[in-house]
Amino acid sequence: MDVIDVWNGRNACALQLAFRMTNEAFAAHLGVAVRTVAKWHAAPDAVPRSDMQQILDVAYERAEARVQRRFSLLSRPPEGPAQAQALRVAIAVVMRADEVLLVCRRDGGALDWQFPAGMVKPGGTPEAVAVQETHAETGVHCTIRQHLGERLHPVTGVLAHYYLCDYLAGDATNRDLVENIDVTWAPRSALSRFIPTEKIYPPILSALEDA
């Protein structure tokens, strides 16, 4: 059996192929969100957090011998240069009266409050992802009111699409226990207590002031 020192998106996807599972089936097998598996496909060089490393270790070690053999073949370095892939995310700024929907990510030992967001897979649209991922993460249904713009995210370097959204229905709950710690409705006037103002995309601040 091969020993994986550090899992990344590429060999996590190789393990999925070795199991011959869809994204949904592999996510269920690991006990993680489908969006987590989708991120591995979109970012093959990304290194999951330590708790996710352990989940992948256990899944691999408990796999049948034939699965481990397939993984050994599938995880071999590809011949020739790897092709770069543009990464895109859709970010939803969901308003409910004077409140804004936020999720709290697991970021090492720190709390990292953010707007709901999701990776845009090939063939998908940012508008659909913004709505779908908001519901997948928080249970909140929303509809897009306005496209706020796009930029290369200053931290991650991915192309980020921003949307101002209106709340439709649903109770805000944490539905992604692997990646998120909490979900909350933050008062618009107190948003800077959760996210420093200098880290917020300026068109978001303008839209919230005008809302």
In three-state form (DSSP H/G/I as H, E/B as E, the rest C), the secondary structure along the chain is: CCCCCCCCHHHHHHHHHHHCCCHHHHHHHHCCCHHHHHHHHHCCCCCCCHHHHHHHHHHHHCCCHHHHHHHHHHCCCCCCCCCCCCCEEEEEEEEECCEEEEEEEEECCEEEEECCEEECCCCCCHHHHHHHHHHHHHCCEEEEEEEEEEEECCCCCCEEEEEEEEEEECCCCCCCCCCEEEEEEEEHHHHHHCCCHHHCCHHHHHHHHHC
Say whether pLDDT at 159 is over 50.
yes
pLDDT in tens, 80-113: 444 444 688 999 999 999 999 999 987 655 568 9
pLDDT value of position 86: 60
Q: Enumerate the domain spans of the chain.
A: 9-74, 88-210
Is the pTM above the cut of 0.85? no
pLDDT value of position 84: 44
Domain 88-210 has CATH 3.90.79.10: yes
Pick the more confident residue, 157 or 127: 127
Pick the more confident residue, 85 or 35: 35
* Average pLDDT estimate for 177-203: 91
Average predicted confidence (pLDDT) for the chain: 86
Q: Is 95 helix (H, G, I), strand (E, B) or coil?
A: strand
